[in-house]
Structure 1
């Protein structure tokens, strides 16, 4: 299934003007990279994949709208999957995109 193009555009709008921003199609989604590190990605079904500090991510998991990201049945440390229900408003999307960007800004540029 392809990524949610409406979500991808909303992410693009939030990140417009962000220094070092690129986007790339990968794993069936559209990833948004900052200085070479993927911060967030638009996935299928309107879900948002967010890269976070693993220590912070644990506290944001609620078991409903925010869950650990899984790939091939394995939990991906430092990645969360945010359901579209938690992204309904621009403020909610900005919060999650901001968390992803803030974390990758702590990493050395690639």
Structure 2
């Protein structure tokens, strides 16, 4: 999808790595809330913002506990999606 390494849950992408950032998949309805978090920017690798996805810059995942939190949030959301 984006030319990077990713991890899946039930056939749905939940987290990945892209150009030094962590790609996370979260609820579309919470997109604006997610984008307001520190070190988060829109996932717009194609020139169009993908709502429900975010890029967490490397500065935002330096702490193991913070990285674990992002991965947990994304995995929890991906597990709610229909299996593929």
The answer as to 2:13 corresponding to 1:38 is yes
Aligned residues: 84
Cα RMSD for the two superposed structures: 1.5
More strand by percentage: 1
Name the residue aligned to 1:27.
Answer: 2
What is the CA-CA distance between 1:28 and the residue it aligns to? Answer: 2.4
Superposed, 1:6-17 pairs within 5 Å as none
Task: Report the CA distance shift for 1:63/1:94 in structure 2 as closer, same or farther (over 3 A).
Answer: closer
What are the residue-to-residue correspondences of 1:62-73 with 2, within 5 Å?
62=36, 65-73=39-47
1:83 aligns with 2:57: yes
- Equivalents in 1 of 2:31, 2:48: separation in Å? 16
Residue 58 of structure 2 is aligned to residue 58 of structure 1 = no
Decide which moves more: 49-58 or 29-38: 49-58
Q: Post-superposition shift, 1:63?
A: 7.2
TM-score, structure 2 normalization: 0.89
Consecutive unaligned residues in structure 1, runs of 5 or more:
1-25
**Which segments of structure 1 move beyond 6 Å, counting only runs of 4 or more?**
none
**TM-score w.r.t. length of structure 1:** 0.70
Q: CA deviation at 1:64?
A: 5.7
